[in-house]
């Protein structure tokens, strides 16, 4: 009997040790969550942006723009197949600059491999008609944008796989270097707190990883410049909130609260960017199919716009 009790205690101890070894710190949960997100083959997500500006401004010309920013609604439905390098985004925007109100749903389809973007014209025609009368026959088509010809884009072909690996490396290294004290958990939500130094260092990491022509001296000069600019900013809150569903990210929220001066006026900016992942690594469907649509080159659409302005 005594021998069985000893064996039972030893077995219980072994199970407890195994359970402890499998438990993760808050930092490890966040790191693994980002890693799984970066490696996802596909996802379906919804993004919401909320911005609030509180400024001590008495200028009647500026006040309507501040009110427009505070009242605007901006969200996106996003679907991506990372293996095929295809993304589809529907931007939902509603804003009012009295007396005009714009309510727009703008679907866009992007083929990263072919460096092509396609934009549905229907909402553009309906909402830009008040500024530049576009003909009704422009509706029902896709505007084709050659991303290689867009100003500011690199002429050389972008290696998406290499860029993804760079981003993964930056995120992993950045999280690794943060203290365990910067990671907390509240009711199933993991919170990562960032400082001004974190901001400067993150920008530096991105610059050094993406552009290997930057010297260590140039990199340090850039970081010093960022730190100098941040001295005039009150960083009240800079956090990322993450919730998990098993080993997958369910949602992540970017929270920013800063104060600064603009032309002698005190400005308080609060920004929340919330992304909810409806599915990860599951089959996704796209509503836009360029192969079965009537394509309008960007140049042709620009001509229609110019013609509308002349009209």
Write down the pLDDT at residue 47: 95
Write down the pLDDT at residue 97: 77
Q: Which helix (H) or strand (E) holds 242?
A: strand 234-245
Positions of the chain with pLDDT lower than 50, given as ranges: 1-22, 151-156, 311
Write down the pLDDT at residue 192: 93
Which residues are 234's β-sheet partners?
259
The tokens describing 39, both together, are 């490696």
Write down the pLDDT at residue 132: 63
The tokens describing 132, both together, are 């530049």
10 Å CB burial of residue 134 (0-12, 13-18, 19+) is buried
Q: Where are the alpha helices (DSSP H) in the chain?
A: 2-22, 26-38, 63-71, 122-128, 160-177, 196-210, 216-230, 298-310
Residue with tokens 């400024």: 55
Q: From residue 89, give the alpha-carbon distance in Å to each of 44, 69, 96, 249.
A: 10, 22, 23, 20
- Count of CB atoms situated within 10 Å of the CB of 277: 19
Q: In this structure, is the dihedral angle defined by the CA atoms of residues 86, 92, 97 and 102, taken in order, positive or negative?
A: positive
Q: Is there a contact between 26 and 180 (Cβ–Cβ < 8 Å)?
A: yes
139: three-class secondary structure by DSSP = coil
Write down the pLDDT at residue 160: 56
The tokens describing 82, both together, are 């990372």
The tokens describing 217, both together, are 């001296």
């Amino acid at each position: 009997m005594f021998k069985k009790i000893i064996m039972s205690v030893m077995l219980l101890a072994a199970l407890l040790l195994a359970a402890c070894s499998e438990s993760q710190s808050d930092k490890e949960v966040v790191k693994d969550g980002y890693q799984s997100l970066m490696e996802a083959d596909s996802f379906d997500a919804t993004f919401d942006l909320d911005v609030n500006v509180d400024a001590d401004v008495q200028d009647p010309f500026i006040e309507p723009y501040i009110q427009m920013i505070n009242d605007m609604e901006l969200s996106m439905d996003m679907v991506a197949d990372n293996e095929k390098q295809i993304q589809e985004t529907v931007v939902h925007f509603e804003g009012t600059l009295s007396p005009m109100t714009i309510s727009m749903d703008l679907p866009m389809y992007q083929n990263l491999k072919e460096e092509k973007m396609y934009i549905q014209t229907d909402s553009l025609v309906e909402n830009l008609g008040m500024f530049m009368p576009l003909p009704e026959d422009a509706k029902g088509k896709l505007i084709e944008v050659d991303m290689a010809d867009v100003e500011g884009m690199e002429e050389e072909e972008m290696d998406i796989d290499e860029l993804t690996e760079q981003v993964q490396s930056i995120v992993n290294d950045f999280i690794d270097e943060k203290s365990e004290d910067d990671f907390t958990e509240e009711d199933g939500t993991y919170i990562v707190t960032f400082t001004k130094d974190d901001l400067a260092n993150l920008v530096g990491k991105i610059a050094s990883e993406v552009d290997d022509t930057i010297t260590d001296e140039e990199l340090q000069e850039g970081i010093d410049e960022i730190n100098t600019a941040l001295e005039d900013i009150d960083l009240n809150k800079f956090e990322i909130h993450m919730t998990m569903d098993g080993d997958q990210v369910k949602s992540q929220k970017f929270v920013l609260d800063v104060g600064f001066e603009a032309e002698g006026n005190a400005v308080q900016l609060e920004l929340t960017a919330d992304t909810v992942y409806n599915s990860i690594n599951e089959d996704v469907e796209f509503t836009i199919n360029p192969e079965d649509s009537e394509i309008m080159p960007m140049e042709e659409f620009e001509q229609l716009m110019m013609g509308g302005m002349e009209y």
